[in-house]
A and B are shown apart, each in its own frame.
Chain A
């Protein structure tokens, strides 16, 4: 089962975990992103995300399907913010449930790495004295 969402509001980590704590799951692997206060020692004011929503949802489902075909997975949740996300807030949550930890952890890592390079989402770092588009650190 796949749960993909682009949201203008705060992401709820607890509810995301609850959604995956079902069926035959024996474990969950969770990735939570956080807006860090500094980038290359420079203070970040906030991040501004832009998302091509229809395609982003399609791509999230595609990478989730790929993960499901590669590992023995129960549920996959991928939630991502759009718009302004402040320092300390959560821009992305990924939860993978599986019977066994190796599958859950491998799939979770694959999902966040692939999301960064293929899902059409762009982030801009806004500083006190300017702003800059970020290009994938893949």
Chain B
């Protein structure tokens, strides 16, 4: 299945792209995708990050579905 992954802040600089299109196996969980991303982009291991799915923070156990919009959220610093 295809998913779109958006990268922001320091994660965007590490990946050197703001969007990645990934082909994943069905049933992949958020925690699996974190490991896949760290394997593809080892620089991500240097920063803490969460994954958001379709504009919400989700649990690591959530399964990812085809067409989901995932976002890499490094520690925020608004204000």
Contacts and interface: CB of A to CB of B under 8 A. Distances in A.
Interface of A: 33, 49-52, 54-56, 58, 80, 91-92, 112, 115-124, 133-137
Interface residue tally on B, bucketed by range: 10 to 19
B78 A115 contact: yes
A136 to B, nearest CB: 5
Contacts, number: 66
B77 A120 contact: no
Contacts of A118: 57, 76
19 contacts: A50-B12, A51-B78, A52-B8, A52-B73, A55-B71, A91-B79, A112-B79, A115-B78, A116-B76, A116-B79, A117-B76, A118-B76, A119-B78, A120-B71, A121-B78, A123-B78, A124-B9, A133-B10, A134-B77
Given A50-B8, A52-B8, A133-B10, A116 B56 contact: no
B79 A92 contact: yes
Given A51-B78, A55-B55, 16 more contacts: A52-B71, A52-B73, A55-B56, A55-B71, A80-B79, A92-B78, A115-B78, A116-B76, A116-B79, A120-B8, A120-B52, A121-B77, A121-B78, A122-B76, A136-B75, A136-B76
